Chains A and B, each alone.
Chain A
Amino acid sequence: MTTVALPRSERTGFRLLREPALIIPIIGAGVLIYLAVLPLFMLVYGSFEKEIAPREFVVTLENYVNAYASPYTYSTFVNSIIFATGSAALTFLLGTMLAWLTERTNTPLRSLFVPIAVVPLILPGVLESIAWIFLLSPKFGYLNVALQSLFGLQSAPFNVFSLPGMIWVHSVGQVPLAFLLMVAAFKSMDPSLEESAMMSGANTWQTFRRVTFRLLMPTTASVLLILFVRTLESFETPALIGIPARIYVYTSEIYLAFNEYPPDYGRGAALAVGLLLLSAIGVWLYTRSTGESKKYQTVTGKAFRPRQFDLGPWKWVGFSFLMVYFVFVVLMPFLVLFWASFLPFFATPGWDALDKLSFDNYRYLVGFRPFWDALQNSIILATSTATVAMILTSLIAWIVYKSRLPGSWLLDFLAFIPITVPGIVMGMALILLYVAFPLPIYGTIWLLMIAYVTRYMPYGMRAASGAIVQIHSELEEAASASGASWWETFKRVTLPLLRPGIAAGWIYICIVSFREFSTSVLLATGESRVLSILLFTMFEQGQVTVVAAIGMLMILVLLIIVGIFYRISGRFGIQT
C-alpha cells in the first residue's frame, strides 16, 4: 500500500495540455528525437541516395554495392573481426588478471595497484597510440632499440604497425574498463557460495571450476561482448596505427570514404549503416544478458568481503606481474611522451640526446595560434556539453522515474539510443543531416556540441537517474506535508539531494568530451578543430615532439578536472 505512487493520470481532457507537467515531456521527446533519431534517419536515407543533398531523391543501392562488393570488403571485414576479437580477449585477460590478483588473492601491495590500474583512463586514445608508436615503432621505438642492443638482435622484435600491434595498443587502453567491471563482479560474489562448496568437500580447484567460474560466466560473456563492440567502434588506433600500416578496419573505411577526393558520402553512409547495425545488435545482446533492470545500476548488489586465495610462493609471481604491468603499461607511455616533449625531433635514445633537451616545444606552443584555438574549443566544448547534457538528462530522468506519466518509458528508450551509435557513425550521420538542414552550424563548434551531447546523453541519464531513484519519494512528500509548495520542495529538498550525482555525471561527461576523437575527426574542421584532432593532424605531418608537448598539457588539464572531481566528491560524499 505504501508503495503506490502518485498517479497523475486522473486529470483528463484539456487541462492536461495546460499542465506544465505534460508540456515538458512532449518537448523532451521532441528534443530527444531531434538529437538521437533524426541523424540516424538521415544516415539511412542518405545511404540510399545517389548524391548528397539532391534536388530529387533517387533510390539506389549503388552505395551498398560500392561499400560491400569491393575487392577490399573481405579484408576489411576480416581485419575488423581479428582486431575486435583479439582486443576483447587480451583486454579481458589483462583486466581479469589484475582484478583477481588485487581483489581475491594475498599478492603483496595489491591494494596499491587498484588506483594504479585505473590511471590509464586519463590518457586519451590518440595519445595512447602515439606513445606506443614511440615505444614500439620498428625504426626508432625505444623498446625495440633497447631490446636490440640488449640481445644483439639484427631487426626490431616488435612492429607496432601490424594487427597484433593494433590489438596490443587498443587493449592496454581498454584494460581499466575491463578491470573495473571484473572488480565489481568479484565484489558482488557472495563468498558463502564458495565456502559451502568447500564444506561439501570440493578442493580449491574444484571450487574454482564448479562454482567461482560458473558464477562468473554471465559477467564474462557480457564483458567480452561490450569490449568487442567498443573495439569495433573505436577509431583512435585504426587511425594512428592502422592507416599508416595499410591495415583497414570498418571505422577507417568510413573515414577514408569521407576523406578521399571527391568524398564518397554515399559509400561512407552505407558502411556506417552496417557498423551501426553490428553495434546495435551487440548492445542489444549486452542489455539482454545483463538484464534490462541493471541498465542504470551503478552499484551491483551487496558488497561482500571476498574470500582470499592464499597463493603461497606464487604470490611473488602475481606481484611480478603487477609490477611489470605497472612499469610497462601504465608508466612507460606517460614517460615516453614526457621525454619526447623536450626533444627537438624524435631520435633513438642515447646520452647525446640529453644535450638536446629543451623547452623549445613548449615555447613554440606559446605563440602557436592553432594550439590556443583548439584548447579553447576543447574547454568550451567540454564544459558546455557537460552542462547541457546534464540539464537535459536530469529533466528526462525526473520525468521517467518520478512523474510516471504514461509513455515516459519512451523517453528513457530515446535517451538510451545513442549508446548504440559508434562515434564515427554519429559524425557521418550529422554531416548528412546538416548538409541538408537549413541550419548554418556545419563547421562550427555548435555542431560538435550537438554531437557530444547526443553521444554522452546515456552517461548523463545513468548519473541522473541513479541520483533520482535514490531519493525516496517520502522525502519530497515530507516537504509537502511540512507546508512547502512544489517549487520550495524542488529547491530545498530535491535539488540539493540530486547535486552530488549530477556533479559526478557532469565531470565524467566533461572528461570524455575533452578527449573525444572519433566523432570530431569528421566534424572538426578549421575553426572548430579540437585538441585531439590537432594532435592527429600534427602527428600525421610529422611534428611528433610538439605533439608530445601538447599531449602533456592535455593530460595536465584532465588531471585538473579529475582533481576537482575528487575534491567535490569528497565534499558531497560521492562513491567513486
Chain B
Amino acid sequence: MIEVKSLVKIFADGKNAGVRAVDRVSFKVEERRFYTLLGPSGCGKTTTLRCIAGLEKADEGEIIVAGEKVFSASSGTFVPAYRRPIGMVFQSYAIWPHMTVFENVAFPLRVGKQKVSNDEIRKKVMAAVEQVELGGYEDRMATQLSGGQQQRLALARALVREPKVLLLDEPLSNLDAKLRERMRVELRELQRRLGITTLYVTHDQIEALSMSNVIAVMSAGVTVQEGTPREIYLQPRTKFVAQFIGSTNQISGQVTNQGSDGTGTVRTDEGEISCGILNELTAGDKVVVVVRPESIVLHQKKPSHGENVLEGKIGAAMFLGEYVDCTIELGKNVLETHQPHSLRVRRGDPVWVELPPGDCMALPAE
C-alpha cells in the first residue's frame, strides 16, 4: 500500500554541507497493516512521514502510495499533498480554531476535487464524528474541546474522505499518561475495524510495541531494524535497538565459541556467559551481552545448578509498587533487575544472579 524506495532527504543547514535527515530509507507497508516508525527525536521518522504526505519534497528515491507513484526523483514526479489519497493527524492536532467541530470535519469534503452535496457532507461528517465518539459536539467551537477530544476530532477529519492511507505523527504525545493509554487501545481498535493502512510515527516504545504489526526502528536517518514488536524487543540486532527499546543490561566481552545453532559463549569480566550469538559474529569479536532486567533470576542462596550464575551483592533496592527495582553489584558490572515485590533484601546482602541463556544476546560492541 505504501512503498518507499531508498528515500533521501537533505536539509540545508546554513553551511554548504546538507544534513541527510533521511538516508536511503526503504520499506513497504502491506494493506491493512499498522506500521510504525520508531526512533529518538531527530532520527528522520517525521521527515519520512512528511515526504510520504507530500509536505516535504525528498531529494532521491521513490514513493508509491496505493499503487500510484506520488514521488520519484528520477522521473521528476511530485504529486502535491492535496492530491494524495491520504489522511493525516498532526502532533499538535492542527484543529482550526475558527471553525466548529462540524466544519473542521467537513473541510476535506468541501475542498476536494469532486463536489460533494451538502446532504452527503452532513451524512459523512456525522458518521465520522460518531466513529470517534464525538456525537453531539458538532456545533461546538473546536477550541472548546479538551485535548483528548481534539485528538479524536483530528482523527475524524483525517478519516472523513476515506483515504487509502492514514498517517499519524506522534498523535498521542500531547495527552496525559492515563488518556494516552486509553487512546492507544481505541486508536488500534478503530484502525482494525476500518482496516485502513496506517503509518505511525512515535518515539514512545510502548506505543510502538503495543499497537504495531511491524516496527521499523530508525536512527540518524537510517532504518536500523525492522520486525514485529516481539522480534524487536526480544531479538534486537544492534546495541542501539536494545538500548532504545526497554531498559537493558550490558556486559562487554569477547566471543570465545560460536555454535552452529545461533548460540555460543562469551568471556566477560564476570566469567563465561552462554548466550545467543548473531551469525555474523565469529570467535574473538568484541561484543556486549544484553539481558533484560525482568529476565534475570535472583537467588538469595547459592543455587545448586543452572547456567550463567554470577555472585554479587545488592546495591540498591527501590520499591516501585509493581515491582522492586534492584541493582546488583558484580565484580565490575552493575545489573538492574526487576523482582516481585515479595522480595525482601537489604543493601550489601550477598545474592546470586542467574542469566537464562535463552534471554541473553551477544551483539556487536559497535
Tell me if chain B binds chain A.
yes
Question: A residues bordering B, Cβ < 8 Å?
Answer: 1-2, 4, 6-7, 9-10, 472, 474-475, 477-485, 488, 492-493, 496-497
Among A1, A480, A484, the most chain B Cβ lie within 10 Å of the Cβ of A1
**Are B92 and A472 neighbours in the complex by a CB distance under 8 Å?**
yes
Closest chain B residue to A496 by CB distance?
B98
A477 to B87, CA, bound (A): 11
A549 to B320, CA, bound (A): 80
18 sampled A-B residue pairs with Cβ under 8 A: A1-B42, A1-B47, A2-B46, A4-B47, A7-B12, A472-B94, A474-B90, A474-B91, A477-B81, A477-B88, A478-B157, A479-B111, A481-B54, A482-B157, A484-B108, A492-B107, A492-B110, A497-B98
A135 to B135, CA, bound (A): 67
**Are B97 and A483 neighbours in the complex by a CB distance under 8 Å?**
no
Closest chain A residue to B170 by CB distance?
A2
A284 to B42, CA, bound (A): 38
A485 to B108, CA, bound (A): 11
Interface set, chain B 30-66, CB cutoff 8 A to A: 41-47, 53-57, 59
**Are B91 and A2 neighbours in the complex by a CB distance under 8 Å?**
yes
Proximity bits, B169-189, A CB within 8 Å = 1, else 0: 110000000000000000000
Q: Which residues of B contact A9 (CB under 8 A)?
A: 12
**Are A6 and B21 neighbours in the complex by a CB distance under 8 Å?**
no
**Are A4 and B107 neighbours in the complex by a CB distance under 8 Å?**
no
Min CB distance, A497 to chain B, in Å?
Answer: 6
A85 to B346, CA, bound (A): 74
Interface set, chain B 3-32, CB cutoff 8 A to A: 11-12, 21
Min CB distance, B171 to chain A, in Å?
Answer: 12
A485 to B82, CA, bound (A): 6
Instruction: Beyond the given A481-B158, A483-B113, please list 8 additional residue pairs across the A-B interface where CB-CB is below 8 A.
Output: A4-B47, A10-B59, A475-B94, A475-B96, A479-B96, A481-B55, A484-B108, A497-B98
A6 to B80, CA, bound (A): 13
Min CB distance, A489 to chain B, in Å?
Answer: 8
**Are A481 and B45 neighbours in the complex by a CB distance under 8 Å?**
no
6 tightest Cβ-Cβ pairs between the two chains A and B: A478-B94, A482-B108, A484-B111, A474-B94, A481-B88, A480-B81
A475 to B21, CA, bound (A): 23
Partner of A480, one of B55, B92, B154, B169: B55
A496 to B142, CA, bound (A): 15
Partner of A478, one of B41, B56, B80, B88: B88
B246 close to A (CB within 8 Å): no
**Are A482 and B111 neighbours in the complex by a CB distance under 8 Å?**
yes
**Are B108 and A493 neighbours in the complex by a CB distance under 8 Å?**
no
**Are B90 and A477 neighbours in the complex by a CB distance under 8 Å?**
yes
B338 close to A (CB within 8 Å): no
**Are A1 and B90 neighbours in the complex by a CB distance under 8 Å?**
no
Q: Which residues of A contact B54 (CB under 8 A)?
A: 480-481
A482 to B56, CA, bound (A): 15
A481 to B168, CA, bound (A): 12
A497 to B107, CA, bound (A): 15
Q: Which residues of A contact B82 (CB under 8 A)?
A: 480-485, 488
A480 to B43, CA, bound (A): 24
B86 close to A (CB within 8 Å): yes
Min CB distance, A358 to chain B, in Å?
Answer: 52
Interface set, chain B 284-324, CB cutoff 8 A to A: none
Q: Which residues of B contact A488 (CB under 8 A)?
A: 82, 111
Min CB distance, A486 to chain B, in Å?
Answer: 8
Q: Which residues of B contact A484 (CB under 8 A)?
A: 82, 107-108, 111
Closest chain A residue to B45 by CB distance?
A1
A10 to B59, CA, bound (A): 9
B271 close to A (CB within 8 Å): no
Min CB distance, B30 to chain A, in Å?
Answer: 22
B112 close to A (CB within 8 Å): yes
Closest chain B residue to A11 by CB distance?
B57
Q: Which residues of B contact A474 (CB under 8 A)?
A: 90-92, 94
Q: Which residues of A contact B157 (CB under 8 A)?
A: 478, 482
A117 to B332, CA, bound (A): 72
**Are A477 and B43 neighbours in the complex by a CB distance under 8 Å?**
no
**Are A6 and B56 neighbours in the complex by a CB distance under 8 Å?**
yes
**Are A483 and B112 neighbours in the complex by a CB distance under 8 Å?**
yes
Min CB distance, B47 to chain A, in Å?
Answer: 6
Interface set, chain B 81-126, CB cutoff 8 A to A: 81-83, 86-88, 90-92, 94, 96-98, 107-108, 110-113
**Are B107 and A1 neighbours in the complex by a CB distance under 8 Å?**
no
**Are B92 and A492 neighbours in the complex by a CB distance under 8 Å?**
no
Among A2, A7, A475, the most chain B Cβ lie within 10 Å of the Cβ of A2
A191 to B158, CA, bound (A): 44
A4 to B108, CA, bound (A): 25
A478 to B91, CA, bound (A): 11
Closest chain B residue to A4 by CB distance?
B11
**Are B55 and A477 neighbours in the complex by a CB distance under 8 Å?**
yes
Q: Which residues of B contact A497 (CB under 8 A)?
A: 96-98
Interface set, chain B 343-364, CB cutoff 8 A to A: none
A483 to B88, CA, bound (A): 11
Closest chain B residue to A491 by CB distance?
B111
Closest chain B residue to A472 by CB distance?
B92
Min CB distance, B179 to chain A, in Å?
Answer: 20
A2 to B55, CA, bound (A): 12
A10 to B9, CA, bound (A): 11
Min CB distance, B310 to chain A, in Å?
Answer: 41
Min CB distance, A191 to chain B, in Å?
Answer: 28
A358 to B108, CA, bound (A): 65
B161 close to A (CB within 8 Å): yes
A4 to B110, CA, bound (A): 29
**Are B55 and A1 neighbours in the complex by a CB distance under 8 Å?**
no
A9 to B80, CA, bound (A): 17
Min CB distance, B248 to chain A, in Å?
Answer: 25
**Are B111 and A492 neighbours in the complex by a CB distance under 8 Å?**
yes
**Are B43 and A1 neighbours in the complex by a CB distance under 8 Å?**
yes
Q: Which residues of A contact B161 (CB under 8 A)?
A: 482-483
Q: Which residues of A contact B90 (CB under 8 A)?
A: 474, 477-478
**Are A481 and B12 neighbours in the complex by a CB distance under 8 Å?**
no
Min CB distance, A10 to chain B, in Å?
Answer: 7
**Are A4 and B111 neighbours in the complex by a CB distance under 8 Å?**
no
Min CB distance, A406 to chain B, in Å?
Answer: 10
**Are B57 and A483 neighbours in the complex by a CB distance under 8 Å?**
no
Q: Which residues of B contact A7 (CB under 8 A)?
A: 11-12
Q: Which residues of A contact B42 (CB under 8 A)?
A: 1
Q: Which residues of A contact B154 (CB under 8 A)?
A: 478
Partner of B81, one of A4, A10, A481, A492: A481
**Are B56 and A481 neighbours in the complex by a CB distance under 8 Å?**
no
Closest chain B residue to A478 by CB distance?
B94
A485 to B59, CA, bound (A): 23
Partner of B111, one of A10, A483, A496: A483
Min CB distance, A571 to chain B, in Å?
Answer: 12
**Are A493 and B96 neighbours in the complex by a CB distance under 8 Å?**
yes
Min CB distance, B135 to chain A, in Å?
Answer: 21
Q: Which residues of B contact A481 (CB under 8 A)?
A: 53-55, 81-82, 86-88, 158, 167
Min CB distance, B222 to chain A, in Å?
Answer: 14
Proximity bits, B322-343, A CB within 8 Å = 1, else 0: 0000000000000000000000
Q: Which residues of B contact A479 (CB under 8 A)?
A: 96, 107, 111
Q: Which residues of B contact A4 (CB under 8 A)?
A: 11, 21, 47
Q: Which residues of A contact B12 (CB under 8 A)?
A: 7, 9
Closest chain A residue to B19 by CB distance?
A4
